[in-house]
Structures are given as structure tokens and as C-alpha cells.
């Protein structure tokens, strides 16, 4: 215990910290400029000087470690004089354009000068003149205002790890510059923007459009872009979102955001939003009133249900919608339509992996805190790039790497390029064999655990089939690192799941997790992929992950829902599509997704949707799928509705309404109304009343209320009962491998700046990354004789497209990457698929492509 | 890009320090020697050779006065104009260089033969004025002596 | 009742005193002004209708839209909307005063760092609808032309408020933008 005296106040510390932190803990404010809680102390601005007894000179509180018995004074005449002097020096070059500068009102320098500074400057000479830089699409640099606290550079280097900006020059001419000198050309996380104490870095999104005190409301909410679920504050003026800012210490992201979260909010106010419901009349989508449209939906669905039974109706839920909406959706499908055909596009990734992992290792196996990654000694990343799919989770891995953890990457992960200790490049599309080999190697040394007999049996089978040694570079190093590590994390991305032998990779990862007692993380591209499964938007499970085939579980739901739950087995996503094509499924209700673009096998999906008698699409925008629909219903988006999201940690977080000027309706409300017209009234008042019902009917969510969720600590397993011991008989592994000898293979790229339907309506994100780019390795570029920026034609068996080409040094094999996030040019449409027999996920590996230069 | 001998030299520098960043300054010297000045390409090469972020290389390179960020002449004259040299006529020598060779401080002759840099004390106050041409030291300068000395540098 | 009082009462002394006052004022000069036929010069610095200062050099408003007037306004009757112009400079899209809500405290004028806003000595304004008292930027600039043009305006500002503009220097075109 360290006890020191600050301003005659005794302060006791439970851990070593600086005098500054000790003072803050005791509620004593010491002014700072270069200090920032997210960064390491720097001692550059000298404003935090304090007097310490028996120290002859003033000390900087941020760099001085508090010692027992220290007597510190934070205010005195001497200190005030020093601070006044420092501020006067800073104002020599800092322009007094506060009335013009957007930072005024939340400017730290302004506040400090107001409190400690001189009222008039004595410096009469010319100030430094540096023209403001507008070259970048997103960030404006005004280096006249820069006070060289270096917070931005330290943030970029030490926390974000992008190292995209530097302090150039020295003395009075020091300025921050992006090293590509024109635009920032970085990850556009904007964290430099949020740590700048003055108006030297400003966002172009809201520049000059409001002053900080003109914000009407501030709403704490959760990001709508990926499964990490970063907390953020939405600032609103006149019912328009003015900006999204993080708040230090708030949520699991602790003040950090990524480009999508920070700059991707503009889609809410997009001109392209659907304004009224659309109903197809005489082959054309025409505007209709809400009551017309809803009645039409109810009548058609009732008709089809009467004619062909509930199983002719299918529903696709969305990982973009809240838990409440997904709950209402599956209840509607099961009770009002009488069908278990409910699935989501998450089946092509997260849901497939999660369901199989839970069957193997029990519910909640992926419920690990992201914070835990930072304390891991070895991190194995396979099947995806956390740096682009879940950027803030990627930051945790980068932090672990800087701390000295071993980060092993299987395959290609651009965001971890400079943060990889062991890079493993198994043959393309045969990563599952590598993982099985690794599992065999580990199990030879570690032995079986004997807790889960089915899993043990599977591991034994694998270790019998493989020698457990591999000539692959890095294999032994990784194996030994894993065996020696006291704390291991495994991060699994959807790249390995979207594979016709994906279940083998998942089993190998599950086996490693089990043997090494590792923490397992599943990357999630959408905000509520976990909640979607938990709410029962999968054919075989009810909310809380209760299996449908067990009457003990179903009885309770039947009582609460007032009717029998259909017994017929439901279809999974691709089966629904195939069923639609064959005419078994006649009506499809899609809530908030765009299967035409987001699923492989474009021609088949299009055929399937065309073959449907009745297609309903609920979305914010008229998507490609919406254009084929019979009824399109405008929904509202993030920040226009309340609800909850479950993130990849299985933390339930509250989404709060911030603006409400759109003409759409909440998804749950639309379904609520349709259901009422179909003779199954639900009568929910608001999202909270839905959560109350969920907490009542599902044992997993017992006693969960918005009040509690709002505190941000609703962590697995809440107060409920997770399901345990539901291991199924192990599916027979599919043996054999494919042979991959083509010149190029097309694979989907996850872009840092986009995630699909919503991001492409955000102008800022479109400015950063305006079009899909074909990424290709340098070796492949040489063989093709193409250069950066050339336009090329990519053809596969399913179609072709033309794209500009970019050479990516991080690609070392013959894969070519193309993103799927732009209108009308999705990569998935160019790919065909083969279903994985176990997870039922569409496997898209080995898509041969030919590339020709135009 | 660096040729193999230079890469080897940088590897050798790297091995002398516990931390890659420490090898930055000596490596930048090597790059300046190889390229004549620190172009974007030169700094990128150093970044890649040491595996440190390019932003760090640029920040460091722009901080120090001894790195050039524009092409220089074949020979760099560094003339001291600090107190002792100034008293003994260094400023007249600056004028002389201008009139005779067309060299202004910070500038380069048209034929690309010389660049002139005004520098602070080089510790030769006893034999002032003094200058460095590339790495060679010359003192007791006069207009005539400068002419003789510069004859040797083509 | 004393004798003196009795005498006063009998002679209607109080009534006569009152009448004396009445007659005296009947012949003294009148102080009533026959408004609106007869108008009086307003006192210097009186607070009437608002105006936005038109910059003599640029011919545009001096206001940069910093919003301090609106922040200071006790009756919250000033609304300012700004945006980024084509040349990246800040432009004031809308500057509106709900005159009917104004209490003429002139804190807005004192708050203005660029002396871009003032109250004029024009006090006669009336209308039939509330909308007429919703002054837009253009109308406020017109007010300046009408009531404060020339030397008058700047003298008015200098003499009756201590404009903070001396701290910031006037927003000349180059100063206004970076």
C-alpha cells in the first residue's frame, strides 16, 4: 500500500501509478495536454508540473511514480506562473481563431488558457503560417493549430499500430504529417482525431456544421457494424446525427473506434432510404400505404399457409436486427406461419461454426472477453483477418503482440501483417489438414483430456490418421509455443467455415481449444450474429439455444406462446433456396438482408427468388433482393430504434434510439402488425416489453431487464442456465481433399471500410473506398504482366466482372481477393458453392478464375 | 533499393544494437551516402531494411539537420559562420562563394558540383575560418585558399 | 380644528391652490410629444432592432457563425446554421433572430468576437404576423444598410460596447479562412 499526501489530502493507492493518476483518483485535477489515459505518459507539455517536498525542482506529475510518503502540492504561485508561461509559449504559434475553429468549446488548450493562462499575450511577431490541408477525404489537418503534444502520433503508433503519421521537422516547425503526405492512406480509425486536444485534426464529415455546445442530445449506444459491439456516443442536432464519438473508459472498446463505426453513420440520413412500402402491381413495384401493404402480406401468407401448409413458408432473419426483432421474427414464423424454416445468412459463416462448436464443447464456449486476448501468451488466428473483420478485436491482438505475445497467423491476414510472429501458409484451401495435423501433434504430447468422450474420440481418430509432424515452415515453432503457453487464445474466422470441408477445420479448432484449454473467439461480421442464434433464428433451436426436439423445453414455450410449435424439421438457408427453386417453398419473408448479393451461387439464388410465389423484404434500402420482391417494407436502422445486440463475447448491450425522423417502422413492429392480421396477435408495446417476454420464457435470459443490460455488464451466462452436455454423435468426417491446381482462385475479401448494405450508403466510407478492387499477390501480377491500377476481367464458371487491380504484398499465394460490399458487383455472385455436410454452410473454396487484362 | 553490400552493411549495423530502432540513424547515414540525399525511396528502403514503420523513419530523418531532403551537389561544402569564424571573415567568404561559384547558402551550383551548407561551430576556432568539404576538414581559409581547395573537388 | 384651518376651509384655499397649479401649467410650454407626428432622436446607444454588420471591404456579413451570441442569449432567440463552403471555408447558411422573443439585453453584441452583430437605434417596427419578426440573415443585413450605414454603425459599436474583436482582430478575408 502506497500512501502519499496530495494537497493535504491522504491518498492511498492499491497499485503503483503516477502522481497524476493518483491525484485524479483522489479527485484532484491537474491540468495536462500531452497526457492521455489511453497512451503512455510522455512528459512533453510540462503543464502537469507539481511541487514535491524534498525535490528541488518542479516535477511532471505524469511521469513521476507515486512513492510512499510523498508530499505533493498541485497548486502554488510558482506552479501557476510556470503554467501561465507554458501556455503563453504555446500561444505564440497557436492562432486565436477560436470563433472560427470547430474545436472551440471542447478545446483543451482553450479551457486551460481560460483557467491558467494570461489574459493578454505579449508576443507581437508574426505567427507561424501553415496552409490547412484539405487533400484528404475524411480528415482536415490544420498545422497552425498543432501544439505538438504528439498524442495523435503516439495513438497511431502505440495503440492503433497503423504508424501512418509522424512528427516531421523540429522546433517551431514541427508538424504532424501522414507519411504519404497527400491523403492519410491509413486505416481511417480516426483515433488521432479523438485524442487531438486542439483543432489541428478535424473530421470533414461535420466540419463547420455545428459547435460542440449546439448538440441537442447525446445518446450512448452500440455500433451497428460488426460483432465486437463497441460503445459509442451519438450526438444529435435537429434530429440529425452530427457525429459519433467514443468515450474514454466506456464500453469494451475503451475509447477506440474503427473507420466503420466512427465514419459510417451517414446511411441513416441517406436520400436512398425507402420512404413508403412498395407493393408489386402488374409486375411493377408501386408505392403503397402501410395498411395496404401489411394487409396484402398477411392475406398472401395466410393463403399460402392454408393451401400448402406452414412448411411452404420460410423466413430469413438478419444479424443486423436486434435480439428483440429476431425473437419476434422466429415467433412469427413458428406460431403465425407455422413453419420451422427459419435461418439467416449467418449460416454461411458465424452461425454454422458456432452451432457446431456448441454441439462439441457446450454452449458458451466462445463467450470470452476480448480483454482476455491482451493477456494471452499465444494467439492463433485462422480463417480471417481480425484487423478488418473486427478491427477493435484486432487492436487487442496487436496490443498482445507489442507486449510480447506470439501471434500465429494461418493464411492471409492483412491487418496483422506487422504483428505476426509466426506466419503459416499451408496449401491453399487445405488449411483444415494443417489444423488437423497441428491437433494431432498437440494431442500426441498433451494426451486426451477425458472430459468429453465424443470429442476425445474424434481427436484420437485424427491423431491416428496424421503423423503430427509437418514440413511446413513455422509448424514446429507454433506447436511448441502452444504446448508451452500458459494462456492461449484461438481466433477463428469465417474463411475456414465457408468451405465444403469446413466442419473439419472447426473440429480441429475445437479440439485445440479443448486440449489446450484455450479461449476461443469467433469473428462476426455483423453486429448481432450471436444474438440471432440465441433468439432461435435457426431451424432446430428455440430462444436460449433450447433444442426443438426436446419436449421438456418446447412445452414451456408452447405455454407462453399459446399454441403448438410446429414439429416438422425446418430447412437451413441453402435448403430454403433450393426448396424455393423446386417449388417446395412458396413464400419467403426476408428481414433485413440481401441474399442475392450476400450468398454464393448467384444464378441459383436468382432462380429461386424468381420461382417464389410471394417474397417479402424488409429493409432500409431497396436492395437487389428487394427489387425482386412482391412487397417491400421500409425498416428503420441503428440509432432509430431501441433494442439489444449480443456481441461475440455474448455480452448483451443496449442499442438506444437517437433520431426518429424516418418514415420506416421497426422490424418487430411490422411483424407484430402482420402477425395480428394473420390471427396471431402479439401486441408488444416496445422493444423492452419483448425483452421482458424473452426473460420470462427462456431460461437462459432469466431476470434480464433493460435496466441491467443498460449498465453494460450483461455477460455470459447472465443469470440463466446454459445448456450443457448436449453432445451429438460425431458426424462422420469427410475424408479426402480437393486438388487445387488452377492458376488463380477467387476468394472474398473483407474490406476494413465496408460491410455491405449500410456502409455503401455512407458517403464517407464510399469516399475512402469507392469501388471493389481485385487484390492480387506480387508474384501473380508478374506472371500476368499487370500493374497497379490496370483494369482486368475476372471470369468464373458463374459469371464475370471487370475491376481495377491492386497488388497486395501481403498475398503470397495464387488467390485473388475481391470484396462483396458494392452495389451490383459482389464477388459471391461469381462463385458457386458446395454444402458442408455437417454445418450446412455453403462452401465456396476453390473457385477457379481466369484473369485477363483489358 | 539497396544493393547487396549495402544490405549487408545495414545488417551489420543492426547487429550492433539491441533494438532495431537504434540502428536507424547509422542506417540513414548509409542511405544518404548511397543515394546522395534522403528521397522517399531511400527512406522506404531503410524502413524495409530495418522493418520499422516508414513514419518513424521519416520523423527521425526530418528531425536532424544533417540529413538532406533534396538532391545535393557532388560535393557538399559546410562552412562555419559562428562567432570566431565570423570575426575572421567567414561572412566575406560566403559572399565570395556566391560571386565566384554562384553558391548561395542551402543552394547548389548549376553544374551540380557543389552544395553549400552554413553550419555551426566545428571546433576549429583557433584556426578559423574553417569548413568541411564532404568529410575533409580545411581551416585558415581565405578566398584564395578556398579556390585552391575547391580545385581538387571535381 | 384650529382657527387657521377653519379659515382655509371657508375660503377653499386647497381648491384654489390646485387651480393655481392647473392655470400655471396651462400657460407653461408642453412636454408631450405628438408621436408619431413628432419624433425624438433616440438616445445614443439605445437598443432597438438587430442588424448584422456588413463588412465594408467584402460587402458580406462579418459574422463567421461562431455561435457565441446564440450561446449567450438568455431568451434563446438566435439560431445559426453553418456549413463548409466550396473553398473549405466556413459559411453561415442561416442566421435567424426571433425578434419577438428578444429582451434587448445586448449580451449577444457583447459576446461577438468580431463585432459582427449590433442592436440599432431603430425601434419602430410592427407587423401583422409573427413571421414578420423572424429575421433572416438577409433581412438583418438589410437592417444594417438601412439604419447603420456608413460611419454611424461602427461608431455605435465602438462607443457603447467593448467589442472583443480587439482580441481577435477583425475577420479580414484572409483571416476568416485558414
| Last residue of one domain, picked from the residues A709, A724, A759 | A709
A/B Cβ contact: 3+ pairs below 8 Å: yes
CB under 8 Å to B97, separation ≥6 — which residues? B77, B79, B103, B116, B146
CB A98 to CB C66 under 8 A?
Answer: yes
CB B55 to CB A156 under 8 A?
Answer: yes
| Contact with chain A for residue C131, Cβ under 8 A | no
Q: What is the pLDDT of residue C30?
A: 83
- Residue of chain C nearest A99, judged by CA positions: C66
Quick check: is A771 in a domain? yes
Q: Are residues A579 and A680 in the same domain?
A: yes
Mark out chain A residues that contact chain C at CB-CB < 8 A: 96-100, 104, 120, 131-132, 134, 140, 142, 144, 204, 207-211, 213-214
A99, A140, A142: residue with CB nearest C168: A99
Instruction: List chain A residues with CB under 8 Å of C65.
Output: 208
pLDDT at A800 over 50: yes
Mark out chain B residues that contact chain A at CB-CB < 8 A: 53-56, 58-59, 62-63
SS3 labels along A793-815? EEEECCEEEEEEEEECCCCCCCE
- Grid cell of A612 as nine digits: 417464389
**CATH code assigned at A477:** 3.40.228.10
Quick check: is A201 in a domain? yes
Beta-sheet strand order (sheet of A240-245) = A217-222, A231-237, A240-245
C68, C70, C84: residue with CB nearest A99: C68
A570-579: average pLDDT: 91
pLDDT at A705 over 70: yes
| Contact with chain B for residue A153, Cβ under 8 A | yes
Quick check: is A732 in a domain? no
Instruction: List chain B residues with CB under 8 Å of A163.
Output: 53-56
Dihedral class, residue A273 (left if φ above 0, else alpha if ψ from -120 to 50, else beta): beta
CB A144 to CB C178 under 8 A?
Answer: yes
Q: Are residues A752 and A653 in the same domain?
A: no
What's the Cα-to-Cα distance from A549 to each of A191, A398, A545, A702, A846, rounded to whole Å?
49, 43, 12, 22, 36
Alpha helices in C52-117 (DSSP H): 68-72, 107-111
User: Which residues in chain C (51-70) have CB-CB distances under 8 A to chain A?
Assistant: 64-68, 70
Q: Are residues A442 and A559 in the same domain?
A: no
Q: Could you read off the pLDDT of A191-201 as tens digits, one per residue?
A: 999 999 999 99
Quick check: is A82 in a domain? no
Quick check: is A298 in a domain? yes
Quick check: is A729 in a domain? no
More confident residue, A785 or A233: A233
The ipTM of this complex is 0.81
Q: What is the pLDDT of residue C142?
A: 93
A448-452: average pLDDT: 82
- What whole-number distance in Å separates Cα of residue A570 and Cα of residue A576? 9
| Contact with chain B for residue A778, Cβ under 8 A | no
Task: Please say whether the beta carbons of A654 and A527 come within 8 A.
Answer: no
| Last residue of one domain, picked from the residues A522, A538, A561 | A522
Q: How many CB pairs under 8 A join A and B?
A: 31
Place of cell 464519438: A245
pLDDT band at A834 (very low <50, low <70, confident <90, very high): confident
Instruction: List chain C residues with CB under 8 Å of A214.
Output: 67, 70
CB C113 to CB A99 under 8 A?
Answer: yes
- Grid cell of A412 as nine digits: 492471409
Which H helix or E strand runs over A616? strand A614-619
CB under 8 Å to A742, separation ≥6 — which residues? A814, A846, A848, A849
Tell me which residue range forms the domain holding A23.
2-75
pTM for this structure?
A: 0.89
Q: What is the pLDDT of residue A759?
A: 85
- Chains touching A, CB cut-off 8 Å, 3+ pairs: B, C
Q: Does 3.40.50.300 match the CATH number of domain B75-151? A: no
Task: Please say whether the beta carbons of A164 and A185 come within 8 A.
Answer: yes
A835-848: average pLDDT: 86
* Percentage, residues of chain A above pLDDT 70: 97
The half-sphere exposure of A250 on its side-chain side, counting CA atoms within 13 A, is: 17
Q: What is the pLDDT of residue C173?
A: 41
Distance from CA of B127 to the nearest CA of A (A): 32
- What whole-number distance in Å separates Cα of residue A331 and Cα of residue A614? 20
| Contact with chain B for residue A163, Cβ under 8 A | yes
Burial of C166 (0-12, 13-18, 19+ CB in 10 A): exposed
- Residue of chain A nearest C83, judged by CA positions: A209
* Percentage, residues of chain A above pLDDT 90: 48
**CATH code assigned at A179:** 3.30.70.20
**CATH code assigned at A20:** 3.10.20.740
Q: Are residues A486 and A571 in the same domain?
A: no
Torsion C59-C64-C69-C75 (CA) sign: positive
User: Which of A97, A142, A144 to substitute to test the interface with C, most C CBs within 10 Å?
Assistant: A97
Q: How many helices (H) and strands (E) does chain C have?
A: 8, 5
A548-560: average pLDDT: 84
| Last residue of one domain, picked from the residues A504, A522, A540 | A522
pLDDT at A773 over 70: yes
pLDDT at A92 over 50: yes
pLDDT band at A734 (very low <50, low <70, confident <90, very high): low
Q: Are residues A379 and A444 in the same domain?
A: yes
154 residues of chain B, pLDDT tens digit each = 678 888 888 888 989 998 888 999 999 989 988 888 888 888 888 888 888 888 889 889 999 888 888 888 888 888 898 899 999 988 888 999 888 888 888 888 888 888 888 888 888 888 888 998 888 899 888 888 888 888 888 7
pLDDT at A415 over 90: no
Q: How many CB pairs under 8 A join A and C?
A: 53
Q: What is the pLDDT of residue C175?
A: 42
CB under 8 Å to B94, separation ≥6 — which residues? B79, B81, B105, B116, B118
Distance from CA of B32 to the nearest CA of A (A): 17
The half-sphere exposure of C89 on its side-chain side, counting CA atoms within 13 A, is: 13
In sequence order, what are the beta bridge partners of A423?
A409
Instruction: List chain A residues with CB under 8 Å of B55.
Output: 153, 156-157, 163-166, 179
Task: Please say whether the beta carbons of A144 and A138 come within 8 A.
Answer: no
Instruction: List chain A residues with CB under 8 Å of C169.
Output: 96
Third-level CATH fold of B4-63: Arc Repressor Mutant, subunit A (1.10.10)
Q: Would strands A422-424 and C50-52 be described as parallel, antiparallel, or unpaired?
A: unpaired
| Contact with chain A for residue C163, Cβ under 8 A | no
Q: Are residues A146 and A184 in the same domain?
A: yes
- Residue of chain C nearest A237, judged by CA positions: C81
Taking 50 as the pLDDT cut, the residues of chain C under it are 169-178
Quick check: is A100 in a domain? no
Q: Are residues A570 and A639 in the same domain?
A: yes
Distance from CA of B57 to the nearest CA of A (A): 9
DSSP string, A149-181: --HHHHIIIIII----EEEES-GGG-EEEETTS
Q: Are residues A510 and A596 in the same domain?
A: no
CB B56 to CB A169 under 8 A?
Answer: no
Count of domains forming chain A: 5
Indicate the domain borders of chain B.
4-63, 75-151
- What whole-number distance in Å separates Cα of residue A722 and Cα of residue A700? 6
Q: Are residues A345 and A252 in the same domain?
A: no
pLDDT at A851 over 70: yes
- What whole-number distance in Å separates Cα of residue A653 and Cα of residue A718? 12
Amino acid at each position: 500500500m502506497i500512501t502519499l499526501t496530495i494537497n493535504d489530502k491522504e491518498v492511498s493507492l492499491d497499485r503503483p501509478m503516477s502522481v497524476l493518476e493518483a491525484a485524479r483518483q483522489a479527485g484532484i485535477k491537474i491540468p495536462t495536454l500531452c497526457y492521455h489515459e489511453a497512451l503512455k505518459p510522455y512528459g512533453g507539455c510540462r503543464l502537469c508540473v507539481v511541487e514535491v517536498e524534498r525535490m528541488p525542482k518542479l516535477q511532471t506529475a505524469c511521469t513521476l511514480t507515486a512513492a510512499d510518503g510523498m508530499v505533493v502540492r498541485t497548486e502554488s504561485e510558482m506552479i501557476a506562473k510556470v503554467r501561465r508561461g507554458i501556455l503563453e509559449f504555446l500561444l505564440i504559434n497557436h492562432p486565436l481563431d477560436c470563433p472560427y475553429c470547430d474545436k472551440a468549446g471542447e478545446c483543451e488548450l482553450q479551457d486551460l488558457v481560460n483557467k491558467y493562462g494570461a489574459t493578454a499575450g505579449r508576443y507581437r511577431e508574426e505567427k507561424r503560417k501553415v496552409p490547412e490541408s484539405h487533400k484528404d477525404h475524411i480528415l482536415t489537418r490544420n498545422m497552425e493549430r498543432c501544439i505538438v503534444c504528439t498524442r495523435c502520433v503516439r495513438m497511431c503508433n502505440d495503440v492503433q499500430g497503423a504508424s501512418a503519421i509522424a512528427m516531421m521537422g523540429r522546433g517551431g516547425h514541427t508538424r504532424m504529417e501522414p507519411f504519404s503526405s497527400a491523403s492519410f492512406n491509413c486505416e481511417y480509425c480516426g483515433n488521432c482525431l479523438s485524442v487531438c486536444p486542439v483543432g489541428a485534426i478535424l473530421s470533414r464529415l461535420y466540419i463547420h456544421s455545428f459547435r460542440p455546445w449546439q448538440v441537442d442530445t447525446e445518446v450512448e449506444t452500440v455500433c451497428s457494424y460488426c460483432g465486437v459491439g463497441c460503445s459509442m456516443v451519438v450526438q444529435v442536432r435537429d434530429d440529425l446525427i452530427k457525429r459519433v464519438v467514443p468515450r474514454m473508459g466506456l464500453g469494451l472498446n475503451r475509447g477506440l473506434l474503427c473507420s466503420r463505426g466512427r465514419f459510417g453513420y451517414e446511411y441513416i440520413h441517406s436520400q436512398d432510404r425507402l420512404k413508403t412500402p412498395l407493393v408489386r402491381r402488374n409486375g411493377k413495384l408501386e408505392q403503397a400505404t402501410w395498411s395496404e401493404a401489411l394487409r396484402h402480406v398477411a392475406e398472401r401468407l395466410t393463403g399460402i399457409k392454408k393451401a400448402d401448409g406452414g412448411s411452404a413458408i420460410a423466413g430469413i432473419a438478419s444479424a443486423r436486427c436486434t435480439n428483440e426483432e429476431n425473437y419476434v421474427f422466429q415467433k412469427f414464423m413458428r406460431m403465425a406461419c407455422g413453419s420451422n424454416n427459419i435461418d439467416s445468412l449467418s449460416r454461411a459463416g458465424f452461425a454454422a461454426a458456432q452451432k457446431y462448436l456448441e454441439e462439441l464443447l457446450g454452449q458458451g464456449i466462445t463467450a470470452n472477453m476480448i480483454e482476455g486476448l491482451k493477456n494471452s501468451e499465444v494467439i492463433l488466428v485462422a480463417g480471417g483477418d481480425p484487423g478488418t473483420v473486427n478491427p477493435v478485436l484486432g487492436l487487442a491482438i496487436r496490443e498482445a503482440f507489442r507486449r510480447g505475445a506470439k501471434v500465429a497467423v494461418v493464411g492471409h491476414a492483412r491487418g496483422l501483417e506487422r504483428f505476426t510472429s509466426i506466419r503459416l501458409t499451408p496449401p491453399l484451401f487445405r488449411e483444415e489438414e494443417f489444423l488437423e495435423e497441428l491437433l494431432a501433434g498437440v494431442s500426441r504430447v498433451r494426451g486426451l483430456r477425458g472430459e468429453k468422450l465424443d470429442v476425445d474420440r474424434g481427436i484420437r481418430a485424427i491423431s491416428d490418421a496424421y503423423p503430427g509432424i509437418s514440413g511446413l515452415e513455422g509448424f514446429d515453432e507454433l506447436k511448441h509455443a502452444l504446448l508451452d503457453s500458459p494462456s492461449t487464445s484461438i481466433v477463428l474466422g469465417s474463411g475456414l467455415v465457408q468451405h465444403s470441408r469446413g466442419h473439419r477445420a472447426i473440429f480441429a479448432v475445437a479440439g485445440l481449444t479443448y486440449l489446450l484449454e484455450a479461449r476461443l473467439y469467433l469473428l462476426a461480421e455483423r453486429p448481432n450474429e450471436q444474438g440471432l442464434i440465441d433468439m432461435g433464428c435457426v431451424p432446430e433451436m428455440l430462444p436460449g439455444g433450447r433444442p426443438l426436439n426436446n419436449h421438456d423445453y418446447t412445452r414451456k414455450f408452447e405455454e407462453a406462446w399459446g399454441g403448438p410449435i410446429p414439429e416438422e424439421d425446418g430447412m437451413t438457408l441453402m435448403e430454403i433456396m433450393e426448396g424455393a427453386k423446386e417449388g417446395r417453398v412458396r413464400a419467403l419473408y426476408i428481414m433485413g438482408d440481401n441474399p442475392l448479393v450476400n450468398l454464393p451461387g448467384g444464378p441459383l439464388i436468382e432462380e429461386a427468388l424468381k420461382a417464389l410465389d410471394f417474397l417479402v423484404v424488409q429493409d432500409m434500402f431497396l436492395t437487389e433482393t428487394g427489387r425482386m420482391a412482391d412487397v417491400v417494407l421500409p425498416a428503420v436502422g441503428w440509432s432509430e430504434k431501441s433494442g439489444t445486440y449480443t456481441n461475440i463475447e455474448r455480452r448483451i448491450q443496449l442499442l438506444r434510439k437517437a433520431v426518429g425522423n424516418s418514415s420506416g417502422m421497426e422490424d418487430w413492429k411490422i411483424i407484430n402488425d402482420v402477425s395480428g392480421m394473420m390471427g396471431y396477435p402479439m401486441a408488444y408495446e416496445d422493444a423492452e416489453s419483448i425483452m421482458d417476454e424473452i426473460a420470462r420464457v427462456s431460461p437462459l435470459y432469466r431476470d434480464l431487464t433493460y435496466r441491467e443490460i443498460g449498465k453494460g455488464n450483461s455477460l455470459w451466462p447472465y443469470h440463466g442456465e446454459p445448456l450443457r452436455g448436449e453432445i451429438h454423435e460425431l458426424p462422420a468426417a469427410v475424408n479426402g481433399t480437393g486438388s487445387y491446381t488452377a492458376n488463380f482462385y477467387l476468394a472474398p475479401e473483407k474490406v476494413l471500410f465496408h460491410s455491405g448494405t449500410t456502409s455503401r450508403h455512407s458517403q464517407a466510407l464510399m469516399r475512402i473506398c469507392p469501388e471493389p478492387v481485385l487484390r492480387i499477390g506480387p508474384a501473380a501480377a508478374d506472371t500476368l504482366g499487370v500493374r497497379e491500377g490496370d483494369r482486368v476481367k475476372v471470369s468464373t464458371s458463374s459469371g464475370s466482372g471487370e475491376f481495377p487491380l491492386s497488388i497486395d504484398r501481403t498475398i503470397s499465394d495464387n488467390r485473388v481477393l475481391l470484396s462483396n460490399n458494392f452495389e451490383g458487383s459482389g464477388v459471391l455472385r461469381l462463385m458457386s458453392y458446395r454444402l458442408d455436410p455437417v454445418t450446412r454452410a455453403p462452401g465456396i473454396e476453390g473457385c477457379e478464375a481466369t484473369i485477363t487484362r483489358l | 533499393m539497396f544493393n547487396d553490400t549495402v544490405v549487408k552493411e545495414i545488417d551489420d549495423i543492426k547487429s550492433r544494437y539491441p533494438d532495431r530502432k537504434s540502428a536507424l540513424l547509422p542506417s540513414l547515414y548509409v542511405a544518404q551516402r548511397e543515394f546522395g540525399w534522403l528521397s522517399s525511396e531511400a527512406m522506404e528502403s531503410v524502413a524495409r531494411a530495418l522493418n520499422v514503420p516508414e513514419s518513424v523513419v521519416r520523423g527521425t530523418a526530418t528531425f536532424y539537420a544533417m540529413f538532406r531532403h533534396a538532391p545535393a551537389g557532388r560535393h557538399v561544402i559546410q562552412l562555419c559562420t559562428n562567432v570566431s569564424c565570423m570575426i575572421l571573415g567567414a561572412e566575406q567568404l560566403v559572399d565570395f562563394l556566391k560571386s565566384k561559384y554562384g553558391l548561395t547558402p542551402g543552394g547548389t551550383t548549376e553544374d551540380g558540383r557543389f552544395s553549400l551548407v552554413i553550419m555551426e561551430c566545428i571546433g576549429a576556432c583557433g584556426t578559423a575560418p574553417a569548413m568541411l568539404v564532404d568529410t575533409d576538414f580545411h581551416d585558415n581559409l581565405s578566398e584564395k585558399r578556398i579556390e585552391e581547395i575547391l580545385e581538387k573537388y571535381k | 380644528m384650529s382657527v387657521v384651518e377653519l379659515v382655509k376651509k371657508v375660503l377653499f384655499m386647497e381648491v384654489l391652490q390646485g387651480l393655481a397649479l392647473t392655470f400655471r401649467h396651462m400657460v407653461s410650454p408642453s412636454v408631450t410629444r405628438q408621436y408619431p407626428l413628432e419624433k425624438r432622436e433616440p438616445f445614443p446607444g439605445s437598443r432597438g432592432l438587430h442588424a448584422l454588420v456588413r463588412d465594408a471591404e467584402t460587402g458580406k456579413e462579418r459574422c463567421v457563425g461562431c455561435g457565441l451570441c446564440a450561446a449567450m442569449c438568455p431568451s434563446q432567440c438566435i439560431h445559426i446554421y453553418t456549413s463548409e463552403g466550396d473553398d473549405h471555408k466556413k459559411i453561415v447558411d442561416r442566421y435567424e433572430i426571433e425578434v419577438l422573443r428578444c429582451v434587448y439585453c445586448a449580451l449577444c453584441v457583447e459576446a461577438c468576437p468580431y463585432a459582427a452583430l449590433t442592436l440599432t437605434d431603430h425601434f419602430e417596427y410592427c407587423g401583422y404576423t409573427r413571421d414578420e419578426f423572424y429575421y433572416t440573415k438577409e433581412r438583418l443585413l438589410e437592417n444594417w444598410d438601412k439604419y447603420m450605414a456608413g460611419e454611424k454603425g461602427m461608431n455605435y459599436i465602438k462607443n457603447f460596447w467593448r467589442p472583443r474583436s480587439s482580441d481577435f482582430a477583425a475577420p479580414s478575408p484572409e483571416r476568416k479562412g485558414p
